[in-house]
């Protein structure tokens, strides 16, 4: 599907989709075409439904994964192939809203100290210390670190939006030490291997899973969990939700307000009604 792939990729770029979203959409469509061994242009609604059910029942794909496939196929048929009627009745899978595991500050310290590579440690420190998505951290440029204004310029975030986040004193000191020792060449702050423009998010994910196993954590920890920890710990420290929304780059305050459900500090400090009951004294044991 070379020509169709190029056409879809062009449509995604014209729509302003990020490079990461384009990668995932094209991968989903490529998997769909490979499943049938035919071009998607020759397939229709029946094949799409059968393929999505195959993902659910045979591949045991999670609802969020199936939702990504639905989004990619809807874009392909509605925009690139100009056949919106094919996907008009394909439903969006419901994705369960599960609250993420949140590491305590002590667990964050333990995690960071267990990372042997300085480059990877700094990457995780930025993800937690500034609340960046792992793709945003990996693609940082040297010029994005503004030590004069004490901010980090996050470029081309989700939805193609730029934003500024804080650059803490400790993070600045760590970045300067990394620069002194690693001496990265060129504009990229975290160069990749084997010709890659920068370190890849999948590389960081694999490294993190190794570190999490070594720490013996029972919590599910991914690079994105560090972003959740950033927001939750700020909220528990008294930062208002609107500021957290701006730091995270959320379009809607409702997305950020989700962290009020994750934070347990106020819940843990709330007195149970059971504690307010006036029970008679327990009799002494005989």
Catalytic-residue membership of 227: yes
Residue 35 located in a structural domain: yes
- Residue 158 catalytic? yes
Note whether 22 and 64 are same-domain residues: yes
- Number of structural domains in the chain: 2
- Residue 9 inside a domain? The answer is yes
Active site residue 259: yes
The CATH code of the domain that includes 261 is 1.10.443.10
| Residues 135 and 254 reside in one and the same domain | yes
CB atoms within 10 A of CB 53: 11
Structural domain includes residue 202:
yes
Residues 119 and 80 in one domain: no
pLDDT over 70 at 67, yes or no: yes
Q: Choose the final residue of a domain: 87, 115, 134.
A: 87
Q: Does residue 281 belong to any structural domain of this protein?
A: no
Regarding whether 46 and 12 lie in a shared domain, the answer is: yes
Determine which one of 35, 62, 224, 258 is catalytic. 224
224 catalytic per annotation: yes
Average pLDDT over residues 131-151: 94
162 and 260 in one domain?
yes
Of the candidates 133, 163, 198, 233, the residue annotated as catalytic is: 133
21, pLDDT greater than 70 = yes
Range of the domain at 263: 105-267
CATH value at residue 35: 1.10.150.130
Q: What is the pTM of this model?
A: 0.75
Residue indicated by tokens 């700094």 = 122
Both 110 and 83 in one domain: the answer is no
Does residue 177 sit in the same domain as residue 245? yes
Indicate if 70 and 110 belong to the same structural domain: no
Q: What is the pLDDT of residues 216-246, one digit of tens each?
A: 999 999 999 999 999 999 988 888 899 999 9
Give residue-wise pLDDT tens across range 31-62: 999 999 999 999 999 999 999 999 999 999 99
Q: Is 217 contained in some domain?
A: yes
CA neighbor of 41 nearest in space, from 4, 88, 90, 2: 4
Of 125, 118, 111, nearest in space to 208 by CA: 111
Which candidate in 121, 198, 227, 233 is catalytic? 227
- The CA distances from residue 126 to 3, 183, 216, in Å, are 39, 18, 23
Is residue 116 in some structural domain? yes
Beta bridge partners of 151: 146, 166
Same domain, 50 and 150: no
Annotated catalytic, 69?
Answer: no
Mean pLDDT of 153-157: 87
Residues 6 and 45 in one domain: yes
Q: Which of 158, 176, 183, 276 is catalytic?
A: 158
Q: Indicate whether 286 pLDDT > 70.
A: no
Instruction: State which H helix or E strand residue 244 sits in.
Output: helix 241-248
Residue after which a domain boundary falls, among 59, 87, 115? 87
Tens of pLDDT, residue by residue over 80-121, are 999 999 999 999 999 888 888 999 999 999 999 999 999 999
Q: Do residue 126 and residue 163 come from a single domain?
A: yes
On the question of pLDDT at 160 being above 80, the answer is: no
Q: Say if 98 falls within a structural domain.
A: no
| Residue count (the chain) | 286
């Amino acid at each position: 599907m070379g020509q169709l792939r190029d056409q879809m990729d062009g449509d995604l770029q014209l729509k302003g989709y990020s490079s990461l979203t384009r990668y995932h959409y094209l991968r989903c469509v490529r998997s769909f075409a490979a499943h049938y061994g035919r071009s998607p242009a020759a397939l229709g609604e029946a094949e799409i439904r059968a393929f999505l059910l195959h993902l659910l029942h045979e591949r045991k794909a999670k609802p969020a994964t199936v939702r990504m496939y639905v989004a990619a196929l809807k874009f392909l048929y509605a925009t690139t192939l100009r056949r919106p009627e094919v996907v008009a009745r394909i439903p969006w899978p419901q994705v369960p809203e599960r609250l993420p595991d949140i590491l305590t500050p002590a667990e964050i310290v333990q995690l960071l100290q267990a990372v042997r590579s300085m480059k990877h440690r700094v990457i995780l420190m930025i993800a937690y210390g500034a609340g960046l998505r792992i793709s945003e951290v990996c693609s940082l440029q040297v010029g994005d670190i503004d030590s004069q204004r004490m901010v980090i310029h996050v470029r081309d975030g989700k939805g193609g939006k730029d934003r500024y986040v804080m650059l803490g004193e400790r993070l600045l000191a760590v970045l300067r030490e990394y620069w002194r020792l690693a001496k990265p060449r060129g504009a990229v702050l975290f160069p990749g291997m084997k010709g890659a423009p920068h370190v890849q998010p999948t590389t960081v994910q694999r490294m993190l899973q190794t570190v999490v196993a070594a720490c013996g954590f029972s919590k599910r920890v991914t690079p994105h969990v560090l972003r959740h920890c950033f927001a939750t710990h700020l909220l528990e420290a008294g930062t208002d939700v609107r500021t957290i929304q701006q730091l995270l780059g959320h379009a809607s305050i409702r997305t950020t307000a989700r962290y009020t459900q994750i934070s347990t500090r106020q819940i843990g400090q709330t007195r149970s009604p059971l504690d307010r009951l006036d029970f008679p004294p327990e009799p002494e044991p005989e």
